[in-house]
Amino acid sequence: MRQTWEMPGGVHPPENKTQSLQYCIGTLPLPERLVIPLDQHTGAPAKLIVSVNDRVLKGQMLAKPSEAVSASVHAPTSGVITAIDDQPVPHPSGMTSRCITLKPDGKDTWSERQKIDNYRDASPAELLEIIRNAGIVGMGGAGFPTAVKLQPRNPIDTLIINATECEPYITADDILIQERPEEIVEGIQILTHILGNPEQVLIGIEDNKPKAFEALEPLLAGTNIELVDFHTRYPSGGEKQLIFILTGKEVPSDGLPADIGIVCQNIGTAHAVFRAVAQGIPLISRITTVVGEALATSRNYELLIGTPISYALQHNGFNESDCARLVMGGPMMGFTLQDPDVPVIKTTNCILAPSHAEAPRQPPAQACIRCGMCAEACPASLLPQQLFWYAQSQNYERLEAHSLFDCIECGACSYVCPSNIPLVQYYRAAKGEIRKLQAEHLKSDRARERFEYQKRRKEKAEAEKAAKREARRKAAEQAKARAASGAETAAPKQAGAADDLIKAAMARAAQRQSKPEEQIERQQRALASAEERVARAQQKLADAEASGTDQQIDQARAGLADTRHRLSEANRKLSELQAAEQSQSITEKINASPKALLEKKIAAITQRMATAEDKIAGTEDPAVKQALRDGLAKQQRKLEEVRQQLAESTDAAPVDKDGAEDAAAQAIARAREKAAAMADMSEEQKLRETVNSLKGRLQKAEQRLADAEQNGSEHIDALRSGAEKLRDKLAEAAAKLEEHS
Amino acid sequence: MLNVTSPHAHDGLSTADVMKLVLVATVPGFVALTWNFGWGTAINIVLAVATALACESAAVALRKRPVMFYLKDYSAAVTAVLLGLALPPLAPWWITVVGTAFGIIVAKHLYGGLGFNPFNPAMVGYVVLLISFPVQMTAWPAPYLIMPEGITPPGLWESLQIVFPLLAGGDAIDAYTAATPLDVFKHNTGLLAEQLYGAEPVFAAGELAGVSWEWVNLGFLAGGCFLLYRGVFTWHAPVSMLVALALMAAIFYDGGSSTSKGSPLLHLLSGATMLGAFFIVTDPVTSASSNRGRVIYGALIGVLTFIIRSWGSYPDAVAFAVLLMNFAAPLIDNYTLPRTYGREKSRRATEKQE
């Protein structure tokens, strides 16, 4: 006989377990529709992989795990998916959630099943993958994905199988053990194999299930699995409580069983693992106790996931008018269902339909007399009367000091409270409130940190500036002092030195100021990145609108507006820069004397000739050489011509400089105006504008060409090529415009 | 469908049941008192209960709460019965009325009613009376067993006339009073304990710790054991109080010398010891919350009781000790939280976050 430890507290409500154990596990005919929620477990909802009107086979995966902690969902029978929408699900809040509605075709055709004949040949990783793909979650009630729980962060020396079933009324595990003990034992062995054969494997069972004990015990001969029974007391089946009863160890308050080398699994989970591994059956059905005095018969059923609870009730002679409340789970921790049509899910271990006599309404709560019966009943050794006192006064600090979060909400305190106070309800509410406050606290902490960081940064910048100012002031003082001391001896020299200083400073400033081309280039980069940012912000807004909260949407909108503003800023700056550059080149052109222009032309031609000579030297092909030489000769002639002109122009009168400057100013103003106008225009408008101006210029150029031809001017060639160029440009711009609109 | 939160099952015991159990448990002590001291206690209780219910109704009505809902919790009745048991039998009617009214109105409802009173209402009423009317409060009738020859104890009608002098039509009837065992020890000058036991009829006629008083205390002990068995309270506070009291008595017994403060048995079975240990110290509203806290709370009451009995100016001291410790209960609570599951040691209620 193995030693067990006495759990502190606990209560022993009427067991009410015999009603549902009169019959063997039953099945129900296929219902007309099955409603399969995507979120039946702890963790992220599963991700849909089928769509409406798909035909699916029994056991086919309908949704896959979306994250590490998530579980897949399978078709419980073959049929057609008729809807994927939000429907009421079994949840204390009575909320709706995304569900797949499956209309069975009645054929119950299996999809392909992959079995493993001998699990010992498979690696733990393979088995874990099977378990994960089979959508197995803890069958005891919490529905935590089993594959995750089987990959503990610490080495495991003890596997505990929970067959306690301490809640009154529920007999799902009991009957499962009685009828399928072999499958359970193999399931447990698979679990041991996955966990690397822990030293001890213990099955914990309360002594009110003698038949289950007798069914299981003979099968354990020759295995290292030990069946341990202990006396019946609620809530011995709580994971933490069971671990203490069987090992005397306590799971640390903020830790997991794995922290003390223990993994705990429900016995129903072991059975589901067996089915997944040895028979290739994913989790598509479960044993559910359907019980209560509002039913004609109470019985355990193997129900398909998605079966409407009302369907199971009707098959057992449900008398709705006599039903006090409809509970999913047991009377101690189960929650009431507002809608009897919600489906059976993976964690539905019991459907309780008590009569009014069985579950009378609680009389109104009286004052707490601090009798301490709750403290005697608390399995976590809390002081429920103090927790209640502080929950009422919303003294959250005291609540935390009284370890509110160690409360497992078993309901033992409420059960014994002579004043009928709904203690657990107070604790749940207080926990929710504290969590909310913590979240807000965290948020404000972050905001404060950000603010302080910003403040520090500003202070630092300010200090640096002040230091620079100070340095400059000192330098100036020194210079002054030097000037004063040297004034008598070398006044003229001093003046010269000051002049030099100013020149040097100007040169430095000029150097610092980058060339216009660079500025434009930088601005173009800025523009590109602003455009990218706008695109990103738009994407974000779209995302937020699809799935986010109002607040997120507002934020995204504000972000988009901000980036758009920046984009237009960048646009404006670029246009300004371009205008400035253009105006500068215009000024240069106008200001330059014809002589300078000619000199420039000579330089360009000389350059061209040099490249041509290089090319002639570089090529072997005689034809190419000849062509290049012709070109060179042409250039040579041009050069002569220009030199001639230059020689003539030196004698000519100087250009009217004032007039030129006026013209330049006008041109600059025009360019600026145009740039300003351009900045506000859309891309298309800009293009259209460009095309129009090119058209105008082309017209003028053609006009000039025609005049020149009439006058037999020597510039015909140049004019012709200029018009040619304009025509090309116009064609290009027109094409762009076409493309754009 | 009804939408409520778990649990959906409830144990049968209610607050009214708890109070009724307490009332039932006072029966043996009440019988012993009546057997030994006459009708006085019964009259006290009836008067006190009537006063208490009237005051409770008035207070609840003034606070605009449903009157019957609160009367049905029996808490006012328990307070009244406990005070009636503690008062000297045959005390004038106004003593009982004033004490009960003060307990219910001031000590209970001014603090917020049941569950919110920091002091035990019955003990507040008792102490107010003891301080204000010491003559009436220290006049205990002589036990029947040691009545002098030729004196017949008062019957029910005589008793009523003593309590309500108006009924006697001006011919005031006097009750025959006698010193209680604790009085005797308190005023002992120079006699050895043994001599005292031989000389004083209150001891000479007794078996364990003074005639009649031992039976009254044994009656309350029996009632206390019943409540303990029924799980109305835990053993921690009463047992630790009794042990502390007995230990103190053993330490200062001094071999029964002339300065002896009395044997442990005398202290355990005299005065209000058992009534206090099982019906007053166990009052959950005003005591410490945790079991550890209750051990400390009970023990300190035992020690204080002995100190005041021995060196204070009152022969009995349970009421004072209880009220003093009522003050200390919240402080004790702060430092005696139980160690909860999964934690290495117990925490303090004053622990701050971060």
Say which residue the tokens 């150029």 belong to: A701
Residues in A touching B13 (Cβ below 8 Å): 373, 416, 418
Helix axes B291-311, B318-335, angle to 10 degrees: 150
Helices (H), A412-422: 412-416
Q: What are phi and psi of A103, to 5 degrees?
A: -100, 110
Which residue in chain A has the smallest CA separation from B351?
A: A401
pLDDT given for residue B270 in this prediction: 87
Q: Are residues A415 and B7, on separate chains, in Cβ contact within 8 Å?
A: yes
User: What is the 3-state composition of chain A as percent helix, strand, coil, each rounded to the nearest 5?
Assistant: 55, 10, 30
Count Cα neighbours of A109 within 13 Å in the Cβ-side half-sphere. 9
Looking at per-residue pLDDT, the higher value among A710 and A122 belongs to A122
Q: What angle do CA A454, A460, A466 make, to 5 degrees?
A: 135
Chain pair A-B, CB pairs under 8 angstroms: 177
Residues in A touching B75 (Cβ below 8 Å): 369
Instruction: Specify if B342 maps to a domain.
Output: no
Separate counts of helices (H) and strands (E) for chain B: 18, 0
Say which residue the tokens 């105008």 belong to: A696
Cα–Cα distance measured from residue A33 to residue A199, given in angstroms and rounded to the nearest whole number: 46
The predicted complex's ipTM stands at 0.88
Cα–Cα distance measured from residue A561 to residue A549, given in angstroms and rounded to the nearest whole number: 19
Q: Confirm or reject contact between A247 and chain B (CB < 8 A).
A: no
pLDDT given for residue A545 in this prediction: 78
Q: Are residues B1 and A337, on separate chains, in Cβ contact within 8 Å?
A: yes
Closest to A331 (Cβ–Cβ): which among B9, B113, B115? B9
Tell me the pLDDT tens digit for each residue of B295-325: 999 999 999 999 999 888 888 889 999 999 9
For chain B, what is the domain count? 1
Say which residue the tokens 């997944």 belong to: A276
Residue A56: in which H helix or E strand, if any?
strand A55-56
Closest to A366 (Cβ–Cβ): which among B73, B338, B349? B73
Instruction: Specify if B3 maps to a domain.
Output: no
Which of A326-335, B181-190, B251-260: highest mean pLDDT?
Answer: A326-335
Q: Are residues A380 and B340, on separate chains, in Cβ contact within 8 Å?
A: yes
Tell me the pLDDT band of A723, cut-offs 50, 70 and 90: confident
Q: Are residues B5 and A333, on separate chains, in Cβ contact within 8 Å?
A: no
Instruction: Specify if B350 maps to a domain.
Output: no
Token pair for B75: 């808490």
Is the per-residue pLDDT at A655 higher than 90?
no
The dihedral formed by the CA atoms of A108, A111, A117 and A118, expressed in degrees to the nearest 10: -110
DSSP-derived letter for residue B164 is: S
pLDDT given for residue A179 in this prediction: 95
pLDDT given for residue A593 in this prediction: 66
Tell me the pLDDT band of A724, cut-offs 50, 70 and 90: confident
Q: What angle do CA A579, A588, A527 make, to 5 degrees?
A: 25
Look up the pTM and report it: 0.71
DSSP-derived letter for residue A550 is: H
Count of CB atoms situated within 10 Å of the CB of B70: 21
Cα–Cα distance measured from residue B73 to residue B20, given in angstroms and rounded to the nearest whole number: 9
Alpha-carbon gap: A391 to the closest alpha carbon of chain B (Å): 14
Residues in B touching A403 (Cβ below 8 Å): 337, 340, 343, 347
Instruction: Specify if B73 maps to a domain.
Output: yes
Write the DSSP string, A392-421: HTT-HHHHHHTTGGG-----HHHHH-TT--
Cα–Cα distance measured from residue A593 to residue A646, given in angstroms and rounded to the nearest whole number: 11
Count Cα neighbours of A556 within 13 Å in the Cβ-side half-sphere. 19
Is the per-residue pLDDT at A209 higher than 80?
yes
Q: Are residues B342 and A250, on separate chains, in Cβ contact within 8 Å?
A: yes
Instruction: Specify if B347 maps to a domain.
Output: no
Is the per-residue pLDDT at A411 higher than 80?
yes
Which residue in chain B has the smallest CA separation from A429?
A: B5
Token pair for A725: 């160029």
User: What is the 3-state composition of chain B as percent helix, strand, coil, each rounded to the nearest 5?
Assistant: 60, 0, 40
Among candidates B287, B288, B283, which has minimal Cα distance to B122? B283
Is the per-residue pLDDT at A159 higher than 60?
yes
- Spatial CB neighbours of A559, under 8 Å, sequence gap ≥ 6: A537, A540, A541
Length of chain B as a residue count:
354
- Spatial CB neighbours of A623, under 8 Å, sequence gap ≥ 6: none
| Residue range(s) defining the domain that contains residue B111 | 15-335
Q: Classify the phi-psi angles of A230: left when phi > 0, otherwise alpha if psi is within -120 to 50, otherwise beta.
A: beta
Q: What angle do CA A537, A539, A545 make, to 5 degrees?
A: 100
Residues in A touching B342 (Cβ below 8 Å): 240, 250-253, 255, 380, 406
Residue B285: in which H helix or E strand, if any?
none
Question: Residue A199 burial (CB < 10 Å; 0-12/13-18/19+)?
Answer: exposed
Q: Are residues B9 and A424, on separate chains, in Cβ contact within 8 Å?
A: no
Q: Are residues A372 and B342, on separate chains, in Cβ contact within 8 Å?
A: no
> What average pLDDT does the segment A412-420 reach?
93
Is the per-residue pLDDT at A617 higher than 60?
yes
Cα–Cα distance measured from residue A52 to residue A80, given in angstroms and rounded to the nearest whole number: 8
Looking at per-residue pLDDT, the higher value among B217 and B181 belongs to B217
DSSP-derived letter for residue A258 is: G
Q: Confirm or reject contact between A382 and chain B (CB < 8 A).
A: yes
Looking at per-residue pLDDT, the higher value among B43 and B140 belongs to B43
> Is there a contact between A143 and A40 (Cβ–Cβ < 8 Å)?
yes
Tell me the pLDDT band of B191, cut-offs 50, 70 and 90: confident
pLDDT given for residue A423 in this prediction: 94
Q: Confirm or reject contact between A398 and chain B (CB < 8 A).
A: yes
Instruction: Specify if B4 maps to a domain.
Output: no
CATH number, domain at B249?
1.10.3430
Cα–Cα distance measured from residue A55 to residue A50, given in angstroms and rounded to the nearest whole number: 9
Which residue in chain B has the smallest CA separation from A323?
A: B1
Alpha-carbon gap: A241 to the closest alpha carbon of chain B (Å): 9
Helix axes A594-618, A622-651, angle to 10 degrees: 160
Alpha-carbon gap: B297 to the closest alpha carbon of chain A (Å): 15
pLDDT given for residue A140 in this prediction: 84
Cα–Cα distance measured from residue A185 to residue A180, given in angstroms and rounded to the nearest whole number: 9
Dihedral over Cα of A611, A617, A620, A623: its sign: positive
Q: Are residues A253 and B75, on separate chains, in Cβ contact within 8 Å?
A: no
Alpha-carbon gap: A103 to the closest alpha carbon of chain B (Å): 28
Separate counts of helices (H) and strands (E) for chain A: 21, 16
> Is there a contact between A208 and A168 (Cβ–Cβ < 8 Å)?
no
pLDDT given for residue A679 in this prediction: 63
Among candidates B157, B158, B155, which has minimal Cα distance to B173? B158
Residues in B touching A380 (Cβ below 8 Å): 340-342
**What's the distance, Cα to Cα, between the start and end of chain B in Å?**
44
Alpha-carbon gap: A326 to the closest alpha carbon of chain B (Å): 7
Residues in A touching B6 (Cβ below 8 Å): 329, 331-335, 409, 411, 414, 424
Q: What are phi and psi of A554, to 5 degrees?
A: -55, -45
In three-state secondary structure terms, A63 is strand
pLDDT given for residue A649 in this prediction: 64
Closest to A359 (Cβ–Cβ): which among B8, B14, B291? B8
Tell me the pLDDT tens digit for each residue of A211-223: 999 999 999 998 9
Is the per-residue pLDDT at A8 higher than 60?
yes
Cα–Cα distance measured from residue A398 to residue A386, given in angstroms and rounded to the nearest whole number: 9
Q: Confirm or reject contact between A605 and chain B (CB < 8 A).
A: no
Is the per-residue pLDDT at A596 higher than 80?
no
Token pair for B175: 């009750």
Tell me the pLDDT band of A494, cut-offs 50, 70 and 90: low
> Is there a contact between A174 and A21 (Cβ–Cβ < 8 Å)?
yes
> Is there a contact between A375 and A382 (Cβ–Cβ < 8 Å)?
yes
Cα–Cα distance measured from residue B351 to residue A396, given in angstroms and rounded to the nearest whole number: 11
Q: Confirm or reject contact between A427 and chain B (CB < 8 A).
A: no
Closest to B114 (Cβ–Cβ): which among A369, A373, A409? A369
Write the DSSP string, A182-202: HHHHHHHHHHHHHTT--SEEE
Tell me the pLDDT tens digit for each residue of A667-705: 777 767 766 666 666 677 778 888 888 888 888 888 888
- Chosen for mutation from B65, B233, B341 (greatest number of chain A CBs closer than 10 Å) is B341
